């Protein structure tokens, strides 16, 4: 079963559960109060990768400075 839960990001209603009754939960929620969803796993990974990438670039730059 699925059940409504309050979204931690936008405070609207979203669902939790087995994913097979999403429309049933959604039909009981006002359209304006339904959370459209957020890219929960993608965003932090992208940010983490970006940070890692930029810090490794800085390390490269620092290494270059040391060599020069």
- Which residues lie near Zn ion (CB under 5 A)? 7, 9-10, 35
End-to-end Cα spacing for the chain: 63
**Is 36 or 64 the residue whose CB approaches Zn ion more closely?**
36
**Cβ of residue 43: shortest distance to Zn ion, in angstroms?**
13
**Cβ of residue 13: shortest distance to Zn ion, in angstroms?**
9
Strand partners of residue 5? 14
Strand partners of residue 6? 13
Do residues 2 and 16 lie in contact, with contact meaning Cβ atoms separated by under 8 Å? Answer: yes
**Cβ of residue 47: shortest distance to Zn ion, in angstroms?**
18
């Amino acid at each position: 079963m699925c059940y409504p839960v309050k979204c931690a990001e936008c405070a609207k209603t979203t669902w939790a559960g087995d994913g097979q009754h999403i429309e049933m939960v959604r039909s009981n929620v006002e359209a304006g109060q339904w959370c459209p969803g957020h890219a929960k796993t993608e965003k932090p990974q992208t940010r983490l990768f970006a940070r890692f990438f930029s810090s490794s670039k800085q390390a490269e730059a620092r290494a270059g400075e040391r060599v020069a």
